[in-house]
Amino acid sequence: MKTTTSSIIIAIIIIASSVFIAGRNNNNSPSENINNVSEINGEQIITINAKGGYFPRTTIAKAEIATILKITTKGTFDCSSAINIPSLNYRANLPASGETIINISPQKTGTTITGLCAMGMYNFSVNFN
Ligand SMILES: [Cu+2]
């Protein structure tokens, strides 16, 4: 009887810790491991979500390959919808919901492209390696 009670308590502790760990891995920490880069027909597609900032904040992409930057918005009414990518000379007001495609020519290894909101308080970067 005593053993059964202990087993139940241990099981509860294990379940509670798993839920806690799963919850912690769900945030947007700098070490996030989101796979937002895919490759289709020799083109690299990088997806960035714009809403209350840009996510993921940092993307590691391939150098020397034609790249499409796909910015998605979904009920985005904050200033992350006013995007500015200085090194590409790109500025746009994104739709509140939708996808905006930005074509990027192949980048040299070591290049970093940074995007900002109009006021410069939100940003993201793509590192080409
Ligand atoms: Cu802003």
Domain ranges of the chain: 37-128
| Lowest-confidence region among 1-5, 77-81, 90-94, 113-117 | 1-5
Spacing, Cα 19 to ligand 1 middle (Å):
34
Contact 70, 99 (CB under 8 A): yes
Return the number of other C-beta atoms located less than 10 Å from residue 3's C-beta.
Answer: 7
Which pLDDT belongs to residue 12?
47
CATH class for the domain made up of 37-128: mainly beta
Q: Which residue has better confidence, 88 or 26? A: 88
Residue among 117, 29, 23 at smallest CA distance from 73:
117
pTM confidence score: 0.74
Say yes or no to pLDDT of 124 above 70. Answer: yes
Say yes or no to pLDDT of 17 above 60. Answer: no
Spacing, Cα 70 to ligand 1 middle (Å):
19
Spacing, Cα 52 to ligand 1 middle (Å):
9
Residue 118, burial from CB neighbour count under 10 angstroms (0-12, 13-18, 19+): middle
Highest-scoring range by mean pLDDT, 13-22, 29-38, 48-57: 48-57
Spacing, Cα 69 to ligand 1 middle (Å):
20
Say yes or no to pLDDT of 64 above 50. Answer: yes
Rounded to 5 degrees, what are φ and ψ at 65?
A: -145, 140
Spacing, Cα 103 to ligand 1 middle (Å):
23
Contact 91, 68 (CB under 8 A): no
Contact 33, 60 (CB under 8 A): no
Residues in the chain: 129
